[in-house]
């Protein structure tokens, strides 16, 4: 690839992937609303608001791949979610349409299905059950990816990320943890696949407890290698087990299901 765009580059995942994906493209274009570290060799740094249509068109021009991490990543009032995750995703897909359809990896979330109970094993055919406005905005992003694929052939890997952090932080994340190494290997598969389409992929490691069935995207040849099991003792030592009727123990989306609708 000549140029790979990473949005949300100042965020948690963006900062990690900035250091891990240099081998995928001659140039990595890094973008965020927030300030980023200055460009190093093989990098371009462009500050931009996803809600700004012209800025997003300039951002996407000349890119042949996009990793879309940018946006609001937790429950917030509707306005910031709308700017970044609704208008921002519309701007991104329209910019991709105007610029030769670069392949996109869309960072969706388990909060699209957060109200499913933890004892339910889900496939990508199961209905969405978002657990808040943030989850609803990710459902919108998934729907945009699907519609642009059907209408224009735009390819997107819709990755429903569980919990991508260096380590699982609590009991729920023993099931939802997605190691950064497994995410890197998924990104490599997505951008190397001869044919992608617009699959929904569960972004989760090979943990002992599994809620999500990835057989529909097996054709990509991706196999997670890590497991949260090696952190079990630490998680149990540092966290009391949640009560059986608490959101963290009942719902796949955990505490997000208990968030109110925030009104500033």
Tell me the catalytic residues.
134
**Count of residues that interact with ligand NAI, criterion CB under 6 A:** 26
Listed ranges 49-57, 120-128, 241-249, 253-261: which one lies at the site for ligand NAI (CB under 6 A) = 49-57
Residue 246 contacts residue 214 (beta carbons within 8 Å)? no
Residues 194-233 that bind ligand 15L (CB under 6 A): none
- Draw the binding track, 70-89, toward ligand 15L (x: CB under 6 A; -: no contact): ---xx---------------
Rounded distance between C-alpha atoms, residue 52 and residue 188, angstroms:
29
> Taking CB under 6 A as the rule, does residue 32 contact ligand NAI?
yes
Q: Which is nearer to ligand NAI, 33 or 96 (CB)?
A: 33
- Least spacing, CB of residue 108 vs ligand NAI, in Å: 7
- Residue 129, classed as helix, strand or coil, is coil
CA neighbor of 17 nearest in space, from 72, 61, 93, 69: 69
| 254 Ramachandran zone, left/alpha/beta (phi>0; psi -120 to 50) | left
Judged by beta carbon distances under 5 to 8 A according to partner kind, the member of ligand NAI, ligand 15L, none in contact with residue 8 is ligand NAI
Rounded distance between C-alpha atoms, residue 46 and residue 59, angstroms:
8
CA neighbor of 73 nearest in space, from 11, 29, 149, 140: 11
Judged by beta carbon distances under 5 to 8 A according to partner kind, the member of ligand 15L, ligand NAI, none in contact with residue 176 is ligand 15L
Residue 44 contacts residue 26 (beta carbons within 8 Å)? no
Q: Which is nearer to ligand 15L, 102 or 132 (CB)?
A: 132
List interacting residues with ligand 15L (CB under 6 A).
Answer: 73-74, 109-111, 163, 176
């Amino acid at each position: 690839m000549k140029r790979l765009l990473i949005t949300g580059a100042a965020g948690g995942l963006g900062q990690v992937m900035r250091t891990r994906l240099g081998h995928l493209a001659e140039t990595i274009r890094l973008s965020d609303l927030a300030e980023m570290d200055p460009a190093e060799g093989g990098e371009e740094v462009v500050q931009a608001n996803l809600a700004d249509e012209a800025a997003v068109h300039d951002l996407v021009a000349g890119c042949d791949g996009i990793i879309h991490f940018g946006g609001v990543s937790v429950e917030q009032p509707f306005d910031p979610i709308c700017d970044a995750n609704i208008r921002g995703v519309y701007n991104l897909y329209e910019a991709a349409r105007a610029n030769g359809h670069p392949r996109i990896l869309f960072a969706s979330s388990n909060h699209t299905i957060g109200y499913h109970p933890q004892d339910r094993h889900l496939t990508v055919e199961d209905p969405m059950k978002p657990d808040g406005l943030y989850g609803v905005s990710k459902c919108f992003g998934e729907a945009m990816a699907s519609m642009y694929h059907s209408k224009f052939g735009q390819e997107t890997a819709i990755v429903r990320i569980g919990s991508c952090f260096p380590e699982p932080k609590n009991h729920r994340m023993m099931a939802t943890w997605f190691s950064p190494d497994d995410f890197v290997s998924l990104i490599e598969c997505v951008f190397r696949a001869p044919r992608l389409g617009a699959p929904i992929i569960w972004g989760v490691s090979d943990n002992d407890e599994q809620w999500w069935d990835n057989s529909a995207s097996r054709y990509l040849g991706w196999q997670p290698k890590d497991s949260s099991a090696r952190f079990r003792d630490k998680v149990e030592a540092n966290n009391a087990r949640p009560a059986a009727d608490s959101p963290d123990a009942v719902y796949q989306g955990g505490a997000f299901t208990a968030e109110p609708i925030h009104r500033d």
